[in-house]
Amino acid sequence: MDLKPFIAQAKIDLAALVAIDTVSAHGRNLEVGASFVTKLLEAEGFVIKSYPGKVAPILVAEAGEGTRTMLIYNHYDVQPESPLELWHSAPFILTEREDAAGVLRWYARGVSDDKGEFISRLAGLRALKAQHGGTLPLKIKWLLEGEEEIGSPSLEKFVHDHASELTADGCWWEFGSIDPAGRPVIYAGLKGIVCLELRAKVADSDLHSSLGAVVDNPIYKLAKAIASMRDETGRITINGFYDSVRPASSTDLEYISRIPDESAALQQAYGIKGFLENASGARYYERLNLEPVLNVNGLHGGYGDAGSKTVLPAEAFAKLDFRLVPDQNPSEIVKLIRAHLTQHNLSDVEVIELETHEMPGRSNLDHPFMKTAIDTARKVYGHEPVVHPSSGGSGPMHPFVEFVGVPVVAAGIGNISGFVHAPNENIVVAHFEKGVEYALELFSSVAKM
Ligand SMILES: [Zn+2]
């Protein structure tokens, strides 16, 4: 099928959608974005319900007939465009130009994350309709939110409350990418996350450092607390921390063993001194995909300017994030951390839960829908897909896996130089075009599943 007319129309729609600056962090134009998405979907015969979210509407669109049902999750909000001076073209105008290597790209905020993903799928759906005389051979349920970039504060509860309306044979997640060798990179899960602040206070005001002879030091306390929580290989030493970690399946490990080892390239690109456990190859990806992480974001307190200042600071704080894997639960993990501090005589170190709190979610790669998504990628891209049982990152996948009970696959059109969330966000035009073809083929394959 000639996809050119569908791609041409998709470019027009994408340009119009990125022109709406739906910045959820600033509450900008979210209703306008939601109406535009509604109009696009209504034109394809979708019936749309709009539900209020915390700052932006959640849309659930339904169309089609058939024995199979596919759920799609996308978002119409974007990250703020700042710093504006680093953009080479206006952030809310779709701009086509070649990069230094002569690769044709489209630039705009949201062109990759997530408006380009949404529009490429919509174009594939239009092509599918054209193939079937204006009808859809499967049922599509399309959920779009406008709060993804502020941590999806309404989504978990929404999906929980509407689980019975969202049932499907499979769910297509909002992102995915094509690697520099042209291989589609597919994810079957996301880690959970819990962000914490640890606070230690020893006095109401800073003290003369001579009093260090008799007064404990808050930075020392925090350092001790943090050091007690993990060993030098990165293994977390909090009692019970691994009790609920789900063992990897043989399929997960098989896929991991086939991931091309890009650790050396990463090491070089960022000047990384070395990896924990000297991990490379399968071990490196096991750690990235399947193991929980304790990361210290910052440790703050006391004097840090030029020269010396003999002060004993009154208080100090540290910011931590824990990346979690199925079936760890953020609230349970916080309880274990508190118990750990008590066991180490550090119960006066205060644990403050920050807003970021997400459950992990991972789908079974042996499920027919997951296999269909992978097989279709192999066929469309002409390369063996790189399949990660989970991304190392986090996102709101859990309610779909857990409450709806649907397998979720992440596949899409992003690229390693896509500058998602940064100035000069872009996609490779050829990836967008392939994305339209992938959408068409995936819909067709699921309809026949
Ligand atoms: Zn994003």
Q: What is the pLDDT of residue 26?
A: 96
Parallel, antiparallel or unpaired: strands 293-301 and 69-75? unpaired
Task: Dump pLDDT digits (tens) for 223-270.
Answer: 999 999 999 999 999 999 999 999 999 999 999 999 999 999 999 989
Asked: is 4-190+361-447 a CATH 3.40.630.10 domain? The reply is yes
> What is the model's pTM?
0.93
Instruction: Tell me the CA–centroid distance for residue 260 and ligand 1, in Å.
Output: 25
* CATH T-level assignment (fold) for domain 192-245+292-358: Alpha-Beta Plaits (3.30.70)
DSSP assignment string, 172-187: EES--EE-TTS-EEEE
78 CA from centroid of ligand 1 (Å): 7
CA 133 to ligand 1 center in whole angstroms:
36
Measure 140 CA to ligand 1 centroid, in angstroms.
23
How many C-beta neighbours within 10 Å does residue 310 have?
Answer: 9
Q: For 180-217, how does the pLDDT look when each residue is reduced to its tens digit (9 = 90+)?
A: 999 999 999 999 999 999 999 999 999 999 999 999 99
Q: Whole-angstrom Cα distance, residue 121 to residue 248?
A: 31
How many angstroms separate the CA atoms of 11 and 419, rounded? Answer: 20
CATH 3.40.630.10 in the chain is located at 4-190+361-447
Could you tell me the distance, in angstroms and rounded to a whole number, from the CA of residue 8 to the centre of ligand 1? 25
Residue 419 contacts residue 379 (beta carbons within 8 Å): no
Ligand 1 centroid to Cα of residue 108, in Å, is 13
pLDDT at 356: 75
Task: Pinpoint the residues of the chain covered by CATH 3.30.70.360.
Answer: 192-245+292-358
Phi first, then psi, for residue 179 (nearest 5°) are: -85, 170
Distance 114 CA to ligand 1 centre (A): 7
Residues with pLDDT less than 70, the chain? none
Peptide bond into 114 cis (omega under 30): yes
Q: CB neighbours (10 Å) of residue 15?
A: 19
Helices of type H across 303-428: 330-343, 368-381, 398-399
Task: Look at residue 43 and give its three-state secondary structure.
Answer: helix
Taking the centre of ligand 1 as the mean of its atom positions, its distance from the CA of residue 392, in whole angstroms, is 15
Nearest to 292 by CA among 248, 228, 339: 248
Look up residue 76 and give its DSSP letter.
Answer: -
Distances (CA, A) of 422 to 33, 97, 110, 375: 21, 18, 10, 32
Interval between CA 154 and ligand 1 midpoint (Å): 16
Q: Ligand 1 centre from 348 Cα, in Å?
A: 37
Answer yes or no: are the C-beta atoms of 378 and 384 closer than 8 Å: yes
What separation in Å is there between the alpha carbon of 77 and the centre of ligand 1? Answer: 9
Going from the Cα of 422 to the center of ligand 1, the distance in angstroms, rounded, reads: 10
Per-residue confidence (pLDDT) for residue 151, from 0 to 100: 87
**What would you measure as the largest C-alpha separation in the chain, in angstroms?**
84
Q: Could you tell me the two tokens for 2? A: 């000639």
